[in-house]
Structure 1
Amino acid sequence: MEETKAFRWLLDVQPLWPASGGGQATQSTAHWAAGTAAQHALTFLTDGERARALRFYRPSDAKLSLGSNLLKHRAIANTCQVPWSKAVISEGAHKKPCYRPIAPSTKTLEFNVSHHGSLVALVGCLGESVKLGVDIVKMNWEKDHNTVMKDGFEAWANVYESVFSDQEIKDIAGFVPPTSGTDQDKIRAKLRHFYAHWCLKEAYVKMTGEALLASWLKDLEFRNVQVPLPASQMDASERNGGDWGQTCGVTEIWFYGKRVTDVKLEIQAFREDYMIATASSSKQIKLSDFEELDVERDVYPLQAQ
C-alpha cells in the first residue's frame, strides 16, 4: 500500500502587498486595497472571496484572508491538476473548506488552513481517505503576562474551562516549568504550555471539521503535552537552521476516557512566538516539512490560467 504524503505550506503576509503612503497600522482596509500590489493579488480571488477579505477593518486581517484563499486555490490547482479558474473552494460538513470536482474522475484534495499573527499555514494531501487539521498560535507576551500577573495563573486557566477537561485545567494551572529561571521566565514557560494545549486541541477539532463549540470538547483530553522549544533554546546540534524550532509528537489523546491511537498529532515551534500543530486521522501519513512559500514564485497563477 502506497504511503500517503501530506504537504505543508507557510506564507508570511506581513511583508506582502504594502500600500503606498504611511504605515499599515494607520491605514484603513479600503486604503490598503487601493494599492497596486493589493489590487493585483485580489484579482486572483472570486468576487465573494474578495468582498469577504475587504470587510475586515484592519488591513492585517484582510491580508490574512487574502493569503489564506490564495493558498487554497494554489493547493487545489497543483494537487488536482486543474486551471486556477477551476480551483473552486467549496464548503463541506460544518462549513469546513473543501474542493468538490465537477467531473467524478477528477482528483480530490483534503486540506485545512489556519492563520494567526502574520502567518498562514496550509496542510493538504491527495484524496479523501485522510482528514487533516492545522492550527497556528502566536503568543502575545505583554498582554498575557499582564493578565497573569494581575489575576494569577489558575484564574487564567479557569477562563477556558468550557474548552478543556477538568484534568487539563489542573495540568495547565499547575504546570511547573522543567528549567529554573526568573519569575518572568517561568510565566513565559507556563504560557507556552497553555498555548501548546490550545494549538493541539484546535488542530484536532479542525481535523474533525467541527469548531470549538463542539459539544464533546471537554471529553477530548490531551495528556503528557510536550512544549516545543524555539530554535534559540535548542542545543546547537539539534537545530536545523532558520526559524524552525523543536517538533513534539508524543502527546496522548483521550476521548471519553479511552486512549485514541489512530490519530497523528504533532506541534512545532516557529520563531520565538509561534507554534503550529498538525493533526491527521491516519498515523501512516507522512508529513512533509513546512515549506515557506514565495507568493510571486510559488502561489500566483500563470496568466494563462
Structure 2
Amino acid sequence: MGTVTRGFPRPRCSLSGVTSTAASHLCPPQVFERLLNYLQPEERARISRFRRQRDALLAMAGRLMIRSYLVEKLKVPWDNVRLGRTPENKPFLVGIPDNDRIPRMTCSNGIHIAFNVSHHGDWTVLAAVEAPCSRSIGVDVMRIELSMIPGESTDVFLDCFRSQLTPREWSYVRAATVDRGRLERFYRLWCLKESYVKAVGQGLGIDLRTLEFVIQEPLDAQRPGQAVTSPLLFIPPLEKDYPTDDIGFRVPESYIFEEYFLDQNHCAAVCLACDAARGQLPPAPPTPARFERIETVNHLLRQAQSL
C-alpha cells in the first residue's frame, strides 16, 4: 500500500483504491468462490448477501485490502488477523492470537493502527493510519451522479437532501452556477459528513444537520489523487467544551479532513480523529496522504491463506 511517512509524532496515513473494473479483474466470477476462502466465514456470508455482482466484487476487494494492509503492517500470518465489527458495523482488528498483550488495532511497538473502507459507484477505498496515540479514521466515497429517477432535475434531486444540510451548506451548494458544480459541492459535503460519522463510530446516531462544514479550497476533478485539507467542521453547542467561533459554533480541534477526486466522477473524504479526551490532539495538518490505485490481485494476495 502507498504509505506516507510524516516525521514522528505525526501520523502515517495511506489511502488506496480499487475501481470496479479492477475489482472485476481482482475477483472475476470464475475465481470469486476461491477468493471467498481467504476471508472469515462471517465476511463470506456478508458478501454473499449482496444482490448486485459489482457490489459484491467491491466489498470483496475492500476486505482483501484490509487484510493485506494489516498483514503487512503487523507482520503476522494472514490467518492471525481476526476482524470484528462494532455495533455500528465499523470493522476493527480484534487482536493477535499469538500475543494476548497486544490490544486490538495496536502493533507490538505501541503504534496504533486504524482503518476504514468505503465503496460506491466504481470504487472501493481503504484509508488507514499508524500513530503513537489512539486515533480513529473514517472514509467515504461517492459517485457524482443524479438519482436513478428518469427525468429528475438536479434541483429536485438536491432538494431531497436539503434537510441534511445546514443553511450555510445549502447556500454553498446553491451558489454554484451550473448543475455539475452544484452536484460536486453536495457530494463533497456528503462525503465529509459521512467520513466524520464513520470516524467517531456512531453510525445512524448522528443527525447530519448538527455537523456543518465550511469548504474553503476548490477540488479539481481533472487532477485525480490531489488532496486538499481545508474543510472546517463546526458543531453546534453541545456538552463538550470546544472553542467557540464568532457565530457561536464550537470547533473540535481533534479532527483532520482530507478530500480527493479519485477520477472525474468520484470524490472521497477522509476524517482522522484523535483521542481528545486524553489530550492527544493531532499535530498541525500534515502533508496529505498519497493516493495509490491498486491494479492487480497479486498486490493483495501475496501472503493470503485460506481461512
Please indicate the TM-score interval, normalised by the length of the shorter structure: 0.7 to 0.9
2:305 and 2:226 mapped to 1: Cα distance? Answer: 41
| Change beyond 3 A, Cα 1:297–1:187 | same
1:206 and 1:281 mapped to 2: Cα distance? Answer: 10
2:185 and 2:70 mapped to 1: Cα distance? Answer: 35
Match of 1:175 in 2: 175
Provide the aligned C-alpha RMSD in A: 2.7
Matches within 5 A, 1:224-263: 224-231=215-222, 244=224, 246-256=226-236, 257-263=249-255
| Change beyond 3 A, Cα 1:290–1:145 | farther
Q: Is the 8 A contact 1:196 1:227 kept in 2?
A: no
Matches within 5 A, 1:132-147: 132-140=137-145, 143=148, 146-147=151-152
Matches within 5 A, 1:192-203: 192-203=184-195
Listed as ranges, the gaps of 5+ residues in structure 1 are: 20-31, 178-185, 232-238
| Change beyond 3 A, Cα 1:17–1:8 | same
Match of 1:28 in 2: none
Match of 2:66 in 1: 72
CA offset digits 1:61-99 (Å, max 9, x no partner): 110111111111112211122211111111236332100
Instruction: Give 2:126's aligned amino acid.
Output: L
Q: Is the 8 A contact 1:9 1:291 kept in 2?
A: yes
| Change beyond 3 A, Cα 1:145–1:4 | farther
Name which of structure 1's ranges 138-147 and 77-86 shifts more when overlaid on structure 2.
138-147
Q: Is the 8 A contact 2:142 2:267 kept in 1?
A: yes
TM (norm. structure 1) is 0.77
Deviation above 3 Å: which 4+ runs of structure 1? 15-19, 141-146, 155-158, 224-227
Q: CA deviation at 1:55?
A: 1.5
1:288 and 1:101 mapped to 2: Cα distance? Answer: 26
SS, match of residue 125 in structure 1: strand
| Change beyond 3 A, Cα 1:191–1:47 | same
- Bigger fraction of residues in helix: 1
The yes-or-no answer on 1:10 pairing with 2:1 is no
2:160 and 2:196 mapped to 1: Cα distance? Answer: 21
Matches within 5 A, 1:115-130: 115-126=119-130, 129-130=134-135
The yes-or-no answer on 1:113 pairing with 2:117 is yes
Q: CA deviation at 1:273?
A: 0.2
The yes-or-no answer on 1:37 pairing with 2:31 is yes
1:101 and 1:134 mapped to 2: Cα distance? Answer: 22
Name which of structure 1's ranges 77-86 and 213-222 shifts more when overlaid on structure 2.
213-222
Match of 2:269 in 1: 277
| Change beyond 3 A, Cα 1:75–1:159 | same
Match of 2:90 in 1: 96
Listed as ranges, the gaps of 5+ residues in structure 2 are: 1-7, 237-248, 275-281
The yes-or-no answer on 1:63 pairing with 2:57 is yes
Q: Is the 8 A contact 2:122 2:143 kept in 1?
A: no
CA offset digits 1:212-270 (Å, max 9, x no partner): x2344212101235441112xxxxxxx6xxxx254322122111121233321121112
